[in-house]
Structure 1
């Protein structure tokens, strides 16, 4: 029942988008613009997170290679820290990538996203 109502509303909006009042067109454009801005921000954060993860992983890995066995026993093993940084950064990057994809979908299909947001 709910799915049928969503489909009917989408058909109505897609067919009569030119006849919508100016306020509705502005609302759709603002929704689309906000999704684009969020997409750009998520993309920037994704690139920064990937670059930081790679840099920190390489830094700790190289530092771990320089450690003697005595330092590895009594201090933190830097190569293990490199692995933890890589896993944590990878998870954060995956979250940012999913956010980026979701925001791009909202920017490309603003009417469907608005209808989904209204019914949820």
Structure 2
């Protein structure tokens, strides 16, 4: 029975053709190393505007960074081409809205599902890419 379950799980994973990436950010360390050079190298103007609208902007910078890292890790499993941080953009239509991903160098290549969470001193993100697209 156990072998049948494992075989079914292997078949399911193979059939889904997806990759996954995740990232966990310890916010106190992120805050200590955050500076203008990093912000301008990593974040798009829209991401900066989104994060700066909150009283605790650093939390939103950290969660957006976790999201970018998660997306990057998922993409790198299927595409080894160079991908700059500003080529991955995390957008939301409203404060606290559903995060969406734009990969600027290939906007239609990947179908990406993204979830971002934060609790206490941590921000976490997970990205799933459907490679059937």
What TM-score, normalized by structure 1, do the two folds share? 0.24
Q: Which has the higher contact order (CA 8 A, sep 6+)?
A: 1
Larger Rg: 1
Structure holding more helix per residue: 1
Which structure carries more strand by proportion? Answer: 2
